Chain A
Amino acid sequence: MATTGQEEFTLDTAAELAAKEGGSQIQGKSPWVLAGRRMRRNYVSLAFLGIFLLIVISCLLAPLYVSQVSHIPQNDVRTGATVVEHGKTVNVISQGGTKIVNGVPQIVFGGVPIGAQWGAAGGKYVLGADELGRDVGTRLLYGGRNSLFIGVTSAAICTTLSVVLALLAGYFGGIVDWIISRFFDLVWAFPVVLLGIALGTALSVNGFHHGPINVSSGSLWIPIGVISFVFIPYIGRPLRGQVLALRNREFIEAATAQGAGPVRIMFSELLPNVASSVLVLFTLIVANSILTEVGLSFLGAGVQLPNPSWGTMIQEGSKLLSTAPQISLFPGIAIALTVLSLNVFGDGLRDALDPRAKIRIEHG
Chain B
Amino acid sequence: MAERLLEVKDLNVKFATEDGIVQAVDGISFDLERGKVLGIVGESGSGKSVTAMTLMGLTRGINARFDGEVLYKGTDLLQVSDRDMQNYRGNELGIIFQDPMTSLNPVYRIGEQIAEAIQAHENVGKRAARARTIELLRQVGIPNPESRVDDFPHQFSGGMRQRAMIAMALSCNPSILIADEPTTALDVTIQAQIVELVSRLKDDFDSAVIFITHDLGVIADIADEIIVMYAGRVVERGSKRDVFYDPQMPYTWGLLGSIPRLDRPRPERLHTIEGSPPSLINPPEGCKFRPRCPHAFDRCMQEPGLENRVETPGHLDRCWLDVDYKREHRDETISGGSTEAA
Contact = CB atoms under 8 A, between A and B. Distances in A.
In the complex they form, whether A and B have CB atoms below 8 Å apart is answered with: yes
A18 B24 contact: yes
Given A9-B98, A20-B45, A2 B270 contact: yes
Contacts of A10: 98-99, 102
Interface-centre pick from A4, A9, A11, A20 (highest chain B CB count, 10 A): A4
Nearest to A38: B18
A162 B62 CA distance: 42
29 contacts: A2-B254, A2-B271, A4-B44, A4-B214, A4-B258, A5-B44, A9-B49, A10-B99, A10-B102, A11-B98, A13-B61, A14-B53, A14-B58, A14-B61, A14-B64, A17-B45, A17-B50, A18-B17, A18-B24, A19-B19, A19-B22, A21-B22, A21-B45, A22-B18, A22-B22, A22-B280, A24-B277, A25-B19, A26-B19
A254 interface: no
Contact of B278 (A3, A15, A24): A24
Interface of B: 13, 15, 17-20, 22, 24, 43-45, 49-50, 53-54, 58-59, 61, 63-64, 97-99, 102, 180-181, 184, 214-215, 254-255, 257-258, 270-282
B59 A14 contact: yes
A4 B276 CA distance: 9
A294 B272 CA distance: 64
B253 to A, nearest CB: 12
Tell me the interface secondary structure of chain B in the complex.
loop
A250 interface: no
A3 B277 CA distance: 10
Give the interface residue-count category, chain A. 20 to 34
A362 interface: no
Given A11-B180, A25-B19, A3 B273 contact: yes
Interface string A327-340: 00000000000000
Contact of B63 (A2, A15, A26): A15
Contacts of B22: 18-19, 21-22
A177 B97 CA distance: 40
Contacts of B20: 22
A175 interface: no
Contacts of B97: 11
A35 to B, nearest CB: 12
A2 B17 contact: no
Nearest to A20: B45
A1 B258 contact: yes
B280 A4 contact: no
Nearest to B18: A19
